[in-house]
């Protein structure tokens, strides 16, 4: 798997066996494409290994939430499908784009994520 240069995760292991990972990047427009490539690679891997994202309380193994905003805190459009890693983000035209990725996963997903991607 590719090295992660933009995604730096904070991890929270829940008592219920569910792990949550949060990564945030605040990047200039020229770095959005590289950040997004990391996100897409990670989500494609998750989809190929564990199937489609689905809330864990609905029987899923993993789920994802992706948000973007500009320097003023205004939401930016995310197009495509975050669940299988086909994404495009409208980057802020000036200043920085803040991108937030949240993953949740079962114990099996957490173990595979750690082993494959080195994510806490």
Exposure string of 17-53, with b = 16+ CB inside 10 Å and e = fewer, is ebbbbebebebeeebbeebbebbbbbbebbbeebeeb
Q: Digits of tens for pLDDT over the chain (120 positions)?
A: 667 888 889 999 988 889 999 998 888 888 888 888 898 999 999 999 999 999 999 999 999 999 999 988 899 988 888 776 778 888 887 788 998 999 999 999 999 999 999 887
Range of the domain at 32: 17-114
Distance CA 106, CA 14 (A): 10
Assess if residue 120 is contained within a domain.
no
The pTM score is 0.88
Count of beta carbons in the 10 Å neighbourhood of residue 12: 12
Assess if residue 56 is contained within a domain.
yes
* Cα atoms found within 13 Å of the Cα of residue 50, Cβ hemisphere only: 26
Domain count, the chain: 1
């Amino acid at each position: 798997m590719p090295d992660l240069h933009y995604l730096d995760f904070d991890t929270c292991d829940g008592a219920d066996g569910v792990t949550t990972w949060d990564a945030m990047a605040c990047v200039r427009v020229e770095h959005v494409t590289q950040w997004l490539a990391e996100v897409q690679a990670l989500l494609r891997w998750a989809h190929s290994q564990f199937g489609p994202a689905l809330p864990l309380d609905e029987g899923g193994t993993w789920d994802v939430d992706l948000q973007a905003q500009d320097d003023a805190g205004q939401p930016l459009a995310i197009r495509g499908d975050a669940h299988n890693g086909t994404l495009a983000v409208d980057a802020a035209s000036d200043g920085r784009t803040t991108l937030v990725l949240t993953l949740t996963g079962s114990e099996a997903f957490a173990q595979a994520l750690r082993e494959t991607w080195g994510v806490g």
